[in-house]
Amino acid sequence: MLDLGFLSRSRVRLVRQTEIAECGLASLAMVANYHGLDVDLGTLRRRFAPSLRGASLRSLIGLADKIGLTPRAVKLPLEQLANLHVPCILHWDMNHYVVLERVTAGKALVHNPDGRSSWLSMAEVSGHFTGVALELRPGANFQAGSQRERLRLPQLWRRMTGMKRALAQVLVLSLVLQIFVLASPYYMQLAVDNVLPALDRDLLAVLALGFGLFTLINAGASLLRSFVLMIAGTTLGYGLASNVARRLLRLPIDWFEKRHTGDILSRFQSITPIQNMLTQGAVAAIVDGLMATLTLALMVWYSPLLAFVSAVAFGLYGVVRLVSFSFEREAQEAAIISNGKEQTTLIETIRGITTLRLFGREAFRHALWQTRLTDAVNANVRVARIAIWQSTANLLIFGIENIVTIWLAIGFVVDGAGFSLGMVFAYMAYKTQFIQKAAGLIDQGIAFKMLGLHLERLSDIALSNEDRSFGVGADIETPLKGNIELREVFYRYSPSDPAVLDGVDLKIGQGEHIAITGPSGGGKSTLAKLLLGLVEPDSGELLVDGMPLSRFGYKSFHNQVAAVLQEDSLFAGTLSDNIALFDDGIDMERVIASAMMAAIHEDVMRMPMQYETLVGDMGSTLSGGQKQRILLARALYRQPRILILDEGTAHLDMAHEHAVNAAIGAMGITRIVIAHRRETIEAAERVLLMTGGKLVDPRASEGGGPL
């Protein structure tokens, strides 16, 4: 089907979702942008934190109202779609939102935050549209303007030294190279106009010797420039990658939970085009601009008319690139996102190959990956198609310009208008240099504008708030006794979600052993992360030894607690590496002691390489029980004052669990165990039940009560 969207420009700018379940927020951003509020998805996300579970229509209405848009939810049949006030948001596929811009001639222009903008027939719309739409009009308190937070290039190379000096060296060497380029046509003119008529071999030899020495200087400058560019590019690439990776690893845990792995990797890879542009493109743009100006001046000196023809061709090429830029940018963005989704699907497939093999779903998963690959290939084809059109326009414009120039220049020679044959050769060489440098200048300018796309993608990493543990008080060191308390703690996944923790009060004394149980999905794991300081409550306090966690010190607290969580994993390396978590100076006595307390030492000693046994990806060479005991040994290696186990012994048999409990009990540390197994629960001194977002004591009077 013909992509009419390419021919009929949209007035709604597509905003693609970044997080797994933020299609509603992206749709809202599209409508807001249409009405004049220039806001990006990152700004909206920081203002209205989306839920991993998606946005209900009710929550979307609330968000629209907060930015000044008057919402009106309607239920209508497909036939009345054209009567909606557009742009509006459509409920799509029962679990998604898209933006409808207009309906024309039986087709609908739909902007999908998860894909691309496209014209769909009513039959195609019918297969997705659920019959619910949300109309949005600017209200009295709607304020147009810009609320976009942009990432600036200088923010990426902070604390990097030596780059200015290296780029200055590259610039000087590039100018030396260009002097040779400017002189070469004049060598041709002298040879044709002076040597040939006089048949003067001595003059020819002098010219050849002089320009030969010039060539050697040029080759040396080219060699030095290549080495300087290599060093500068490597330094800048390393510095940019290091800065962005440092920021990435300091982001909150829930930031990673809301994104696909492939998308994170594709955003990180946006460093490469930025590096190339800064090390080579910036210098090339300066040199090309200067050379285009100098060669144009020489061309005007030779013939103003001929120079005017080339300048017109240059202007036409610039218009072509500017007109096609928006298409090129959209295609590049679609290609990056499509390739990220394909990588995500492949990574998930490889990690889940055991499950796929067991259920015989390899063919299904391969088909799904092929679909993602097809989308990526099609997106790359769209980029290539635009490049082909640009290349064709380039050939056509400058091909015609070349024909006209030769026709005029030779006509000047024939007419005896003071234009020699040598001047024709020299002018054509200068003209070729001008076209190359001028076109290169435009290309570099477009590439520089394209950096906005990569900066937007990197801004999701660079502008997201760091985890609070890296903020004020990160250097505080406070000894931990083991007392922990929650006071009126409320927590919800997003402002529109119901409370997962609804006014939880909890007090745990030093050395106490408590068990928390309750139905799955009741918030027990969230409570564990909150007790560990990994997530922040919406309201209420977490007290450690009677002090708020912020005053106690997040890093200090994390250095003295340990946990085995459900999503914990092992890393590629040896068993000792994993137990010590790649500590710089591994204390093998402590490793062995931790392994003995975790009841895994005997298993390790039976392995051929013992503690040097290599662990496969995600611990694939170990059984479930062995992996869990290694994770427990890792937690115990820290010699924590508080230990939290979220189903941390679920894979152990009774004998091993009894041995582990006895060993940990002898340490006298505070233990918080989240479990469903009866034996694990009964081993605790106190048992609490998580239900309805509250903690109650099941042994209290009938019906229990909040603690």
Q: Which two tokens stand for residue 680?
A: 């694990």
| Predicted local confidence at residue 7, as pLDDT | 37
In this structure, the number of other CB atoms found within 10 A of the CB of residue 650 comes to: 18
| Predicted local confidence at residue 164, as pLDDT | 64
Q: Which two tokens stand for residue 83?
A: 């009567």
| Predicted local confidence at residue 38, as pLDDT | 83
| Predicted local confidence at residue 597, as pLDDT | 86
Q: According to the CATH classification, is domain 470-701 in 3.40.50.300?
A: yes
Q: Read out DSSP for 267-279? A: HHTTHHHHHHIII
In this structure, the number of other CB atoms found within 10 A of the CB of residue 316 comes to: 16
Q: Which parts of the chain have pLDDT scores under 70? A: 1-10, 19-20, 49-54, 153-233, 279-285, 287-288, 417, 421, 472-475, 494-496, 616-621, 648-652, 699-707
What is the β-pairing status of strands 145-146 and 37-38?
parallel
Q: Which residues are catalytic?
A: 23
pLDDT digits (tens, 9 = 90+) for 325-337: 888 888 888 888 8
User: Dihedrals φ, ψ of 92, to 5°?
Assistant: -130, 130
Q: What is the enclosing helix (H) or strand (E) of 291?
A: helix 282-302
| Predicted local confidence at residue 500, as pLDDT | 80
Domain with CATH 3.40.50.300 in the chain: 470-701
Q: Which two tokens stand for residue 297?
A: 């001046």
**CA atoms of 580 and 206, how far apart (whole Å):** 74
Q: Are 227 and 455 in contact (CB under 8 A)?
A: no
CB-hemisphere CA count at 13 Å for 252? Answer: 19
∠ CA(507), CA(508), CA(514), 5° rounding? 120
CATH architecture, domain defined by 22-146: Alpha-Beta Complex (3.90)
484 Cβ neighbours under 8 A, 6+ residues apart: 506, 507, 508, 531, 542, 543, 544, 642, 670, 672
**CA atoms of 585 and 548, how far apart (whole Å):** 33
Chain centre to alpha carbon of residue 3: 28
Q: What is the enclosing helix (H) or strand (E) of 296?
A: helix 282-302
| Predicted local confidence at residue 220, as pLDDT | 63
- Cα-based distances in Å from 225 to 173, 175, 178, 552: 6, 10, 12, 54
What's the whole-model pTM score? Answer: 0.70
Find the helix packing angle between 588-597 and 624-637, rounded to 10°: 130
pLDDT digits (tens, 9 = 90+) for 528-587: 888 888 888 888 888 888 888 888 888 888 888 888 887 788 888 888 888 888 888 888
Q: What is the enclosing helix (H) or strand (E) of 642?
A: strand 642-646
Domain with CATH 3.90.70.10 in the chain: 22-146
Q: What is the enclosing helix (H) or strand (E) of 102?
A: strand 96-104
Class of domain 153-463: mainly alpha
Domain with CATH 1.20.1560.10 in the chain: 153-463
